[in-house]
Structure formats: structure tokens, C-alpha cells
Amino acid sequence: MTTPALKPRLAVMKNLLYAGIIGPLLFIAVFLVEGATRPGYSAWRHYVSQLATGDGGWMQVVNFLVCGTLVLAFAIGLRQALRGTRGSIGAPVLLALFAVALLVAGIFSTDPALGYPVGAAHVHTTHGMVHGLAGLAAFTLLPAAAFVMAWHFASEPGARRWAVYSLAVGAGIIVMFIASTTVSTMDGTGMWPNAPTGFFQRIAIITGWTWIAMVAWRELVIGGRDLRGGRLSDAPRRAAV
């Protein structure tokens, strides 16, 4: 039974975990719609962050800020949900830093590149450099968080599939990030015009952001502290089903 004293804590934790579902999935939905409807923009060729430039760029800026804020809230909720288990500090901290990187990426928009915005000169600014560093941090911190969560799931009876899933996500993000960066450079130098930079990056983003939502969902539905039953004890976590 949920005691009156625990109800506020449960409500806060649930809301924080829900943020981990809403933020990443909303981010994906927004950039997919924007990428498909923005004049002159190619989802195949251009980075997602390039949607923050040109007409209507404010939409992607807000998308970064909203997602970063919600993932930061989720990291706090995840820390509460995992308390007392392996990886209960490392994974939330890495996800919190990832969220901060998204916020920085939103505040400091990328520079025009690869022919977008149409007609804009390809320039290198401090603003764009900060964005690039934030992007590098984000695509480093997220797979690191996935690897820590794989380590966490490996310690839970019945959670082997989640451990394998998390490992695959972490590795996939790294491979796709390297691929998108490589082909972007080839496109920029003329070695591979119209290279699939955006395609590779979208695989990395959809894979990683969806993983965050899935972990948040798991903690809400089958997490160790029985949120549905209202328990916040330090009892061993239930096995995944």
C-alpha cells in the first residue's frame, strides 16, 4: 500500500520518468517533420542540427532546449529509481551531462554547411565551434550511458536482453556518428557529393533517443521500486518480464 507520506515522492518520480519518454520521442518527431517539410533541406544529406539555421530555425532550437530539459529531469528520476543498484550514479550523471550538451547545442546553433541554408556561405564561427563540441560530447556521453546501463542490467536477474540491447545501442551510436562525420567531410571536400550524412546521423539519433525512452518506460512499468504498487523500499529489483 502507498502511504500518504510516499504519494508525493511517487508522483514526482513518475513525472521525472515520464519526461524521459516524452522528451526524446518529441525531439525525433519534430526533426522528422521539419526535415521533410523545410524548403532546401535534405534529410539524406544534412545534419539534424542544421534545421536550427535558416528560416524556421527557431523550431529546432526550441526542440533542443525542450529535449535537453526533459532528459535532465529524467536523469534525476532515473537516479531515484536505480538508487542502491549497480550503475545508479554513473548512468544518471552521464545522461544529465548529455542533457546539458543538448542545451548547449540549442543555445549555440551550428554554422551553415553542405549547401544549407540555400545560398549561405560556408563559414566557421566560435558559435558553430561550441555547437560542434556540444555535439561531440552528446554522441560520446549517450553511448557511455548506454554501456553503464548495460552493466547495470547485467546484474539484474532476467534483464539480459536489456543488457544486450544497451550494448548494441551504445556501439551503434558510435559507429553511426563516426560514419556521419566521415561522409560529411567527404561531401564538404567534394570527394562524395550529396553523401548520406543526415541518414547516418538519423540512425544514431533515433537509436539513442528511443533507447532513453525505452529505459524510462521500463522503469515506470517494471522498475525495481514498484511504482505501480507505490513502494519506495530498497528491496531487490524485480526481474524484467
Q: In angstroms, what CA-CA distances link 180 with 132, 191, 217, 224?
A: 13, 14, 29, 37
Residue 171 in domain: yes
pLDDT tens by residue, 70-108: 999 999 999 999 988 999 999 999 999 999 999 999 999
Q: Is residue 241 domain-resident?
A: no
Query: What is the mean pLDDT of the segment spanning 195-199?
Result: 98
Check whether 143 has a pLDDT greater than 90: yes
Residue 1: per-residue pLDDT: 45
**DSSP class of 112:** P
First to last CA, the chain: 22
Averaged over 174-180, what is the pLDDT? Answer: 98
Residue 2 resides in a domain: no
Residue with cell 551504445: 170
- Which residue, chain included where needed, has cell 534545421? 51
In-domain check, residue 147? yes
> What's the average model confidence in pLDDT over 114-121?
91
In total, how many domains does the chain have? 1
pLDDT at 57 over 70: yes
* Alpha-carbon Rg for the chain in angstroms: 19
Residue 80 covered by a domain: yes
| Domain boundaries, position 187 | 10-222
Number of CB atoms found within 10 A of residue 109's CB: 22
- Answer whether residue 231 shows pLDDT above 50: no
Q: pTM value? A: 0.91
Grid look-up 504498487 returns 229
The secondary structure of residue 50, as a DSSP letter, is G
What per-residue confidence (pLDDT) applies to 123? 86
**Residue ranges in 53-189 assigned as alpha helix (H):** 58-82, 90-107, 126-154, 160-188
Note the pLDDT of residue 103: 98
Residue 45 placed within a domain: yes
Stretch (H or E) spanning 94: helix 90-107
**Cell matching residue 82:** 536505480
Q: Is residue 234 part of a domain?
A: no
Q: Indicate if the pLDDT at residue 121 is higher than 90.
A: no
Handedness of CA 153, 158, 163, 165 (dihedral sign): negative
**Position 172 in a domain:** yes
Percent of the chain, pLDDT > 90? 80
Instruction: Please determine, for residue 234, whether its predicted confidence score (pLDDT) is greater than 50.
Output: no
Q: Is 122 exposed, middle or buried (0-12, 13-18, 19+ CB in 10 A)?
A: exposed
Cα 113 from Cα 181, distance rounded (Å): 13
Tell me, what's the pLDDT at 38?
A: 96
- Single-letter amino acid code for the residue at 148: V
Question: 231 with 54: CB under 8 angstroms?
Answer: no
